[in-house]
Amino acid sequence: MKILVVNAGSSSLKYQLFDLEDDKNDVLASGICERIGIDGSNLHHETENGTEFNSDFEMPDHKVAVELVIDALLSPEHGVLQSLNEVEAVGHRVVHGGEEFANSVVIDEEVKDAIKACYPLAPLHNPPNIMGIEACEAAMPGKTQVAVFDTAFHQTIPDKAFMYALPYELYEKHGIRRYGFHGTSHAYVSEIAMELMDNPEAKVITCHLGNGSSIAAVNAGECIDTSMGMTPLAGVPMGTRTGDLDPAVVTYLMEHEDLSAEQVDSLMNKESGFLGVSGVSSDCRDLSAAADSGNARAELALKMFNYSCSKYIGAYSAALGGVDAIVFTAGIGENSPSLRLEILEKLSYLGVELDSELNSQKIGAYKLISTEDSRVKVYVIRTDEELKIAQETAALAE
Ligand code: AMP
């Protein structure tokens, strides 16, 4: 079954065309439209046969971008389809589903209205997600379209964990609560971990550590807590985001640095985290290199990150009443043996024993990196959010 996966941002649109069969998940083609609505729009397209092209096109809006993607998929030189009829359905990544969506859904007008109702909660993400959906509806009328939400997997979190201790009316009026993000990734890697352990009841802590990072506590496949909050700003420190801080810091900054709400928001989302503490970079590799050459603030930023990740794992093992497996995924989680070691070395009291040899080896799709005697299994599992979106879409299309 061929499924097109679309991830639309405000000025970009990423796509992957999957061919899913029982035991194979081939990516037939993938690419990205960049600078949509801006001068110098560009389409990069590549196929599994190794052909690729990179061309400038006029892309005034997402609709034209989707039409160009379809032309590329059907083109005689770089195409992988004879006809669009071969595509069974289109799966869309949608960032915020609020409390409305605990699962992926087939898109209709009511679903689009509910996604639009979440605009105040995700003003930068949901509007371009809708643009991507409407562009595909226009270019492929009648084709099944599915929405897969970053927040959906976290909708099983109980109220004691998702509520903030603000006046209750604010939750009712504005929906102010923890939602959590990266749900598609946490769902994907926790399912693989449960399969690898052959234990559908497993208590799993999933650490999605990348430019944005979040940690989730998963009990028998159900998420019970996660580190991101109403927005993706909460939790562990990230590339440019603060992670958790005392909320009084916000009003203090507004008063004493004379900042507007918008300026504080930008400071906390774009100028903080690794970048803000180190003054070097938001990128973990740059930070590691700077720390290795003696930069104390780069070293501090990394230590703050490791410490925060260890604390969340400790907290979530308490929330779960134990832990059977810890999973590392995303850019940092998959690629940094030294950070994995530093996060886990304080957790031997939980029964975590890392095999340093396995931890330093290449991982492939997944790898067990704990010792045979370790009470808690530690896995590195490559995340694949697009594949998960394709699988969810295929299941609904069927
Ligand atoms: P992501 O958002 O999942 O693409 O992850 C991006 C982050 O992963 C960046 O901070 C990268 O520096 C980090 N990363 C990628 N490769 C490595 C590596 N080999 N060692 C440390 N961090 C890495």
Per residue in 64-85, pLDDT (tens digit) is 999 999 999 999 988 999 999 9
pLDDT higher than threshold 90 for residue 181: yes
Q: How far is the CA of 288 from the centre of ligand 1 (A)?
A: 11
User: Regarding beta strands 213-219 and 203-209, do their DSSP bridges make them parallel or antiparallel, or are they unpaired?
Assistant: antiparallel
Active site residue 258: no
Pocket test for ligand 1, best of 213, 284, 340 (most atoms within 8 A of CB): 284
Q: How far is the CA of 388 from the centre of ligand 1 (A)?
A: 21
User: Is the minimum distance from the CB of 265 to ligand 1 under 6 angstroms?
Assistant: no
User: Is the minimum distance from the CB of 211 to ligand 1 under 6 angstroms?
Assistant: yes
Mean pLDDT across the chain: 97
d(CA 105, CA 88): 15
User: Regarding beta strands 144-149 and 87-94, do their DSSP bridges make them parallel or antiparallel, or are they unpaired?
Assistant: parallel
Each residue's pLDDT tens digit, 309-332: 999 999 999 999 999 999 999 999
Give the E-state strand segments of 220-372 in sequence order: 222-226, 325-329, 366-368
Q: How far is the CA of 282 from the centre of ligand 1 (A)?
A: 10
Give the active site residue among 150, 225, 324, 384: 150
Element (H, E) at 173: helix 168-174
pLDDT of residue 202: 98
pLDDT of residue 22: 80
The minimum-distance atom of ligand 1 relative to the CA of 330 is: 3
pLDDT of residue 197: 98
pLDDT of residue 23: 80
**What sections of 271-324 are H helices per DSSP?**
273-278, 284-292, 296-320
The minimum-distance atom of ligand 1 relative to the CA of 383 is: 3
pLDDT of residue 254: 98
Question: Percent of the chain having pLDDT more than 70?
Answer: 100
What secondary structure does DSSP assign to 90-137, as a single string?
Answer: EEEEES--TTT-SS-EE--HHHHHHHHHTGGGSTTTHHHHHHHHHHHH
Q: How far is the CA of 56 from the centre of ligand 1 (A)?
A: 29
Q: Cβ distance 287 to 304 under 8 Å?
A: no
pLDDT higher than threshold 90 for residue 265: yes
User: Is the minimum distance from the CB of 333 to ligand 1 under 6 angstroms?
Assistant: no
User: Is the minimum distance from the CB of 239 to ligand 1 under 6 angstroms?
Assistant: yes
pLDDT of residue 24: 84
Pocket test for ligand 1, best of 332, 336, 361 (most atoms within 8 A of CB): 332
User: Is the minimum distance from the CB of 285 to ligand 1 under 6 angstroms?
Assistant: yes
Q: Cβ distance 250 to 264 under 8 Å?
A: yes
By alpha-carbon position, which residue is closest to atom 15 of ligand 1?
331
pLDDT higher than threshold 90 for residue 199: yes
Q: Which residues contact 39 (CB under 8 A, 6 or more apart)?
A: none
Hey, what domains does the chain have and what are their CATH numbers? 2-149 (3.30.420.40), 198-385 (3.30.420.40)
The minimum-distance atom of ligand 1 relative to the CA of 209 is: 3
User: Is the minimum distance from the CB of 237 to ligand 1 under 6 angstroms?
Assistant: no
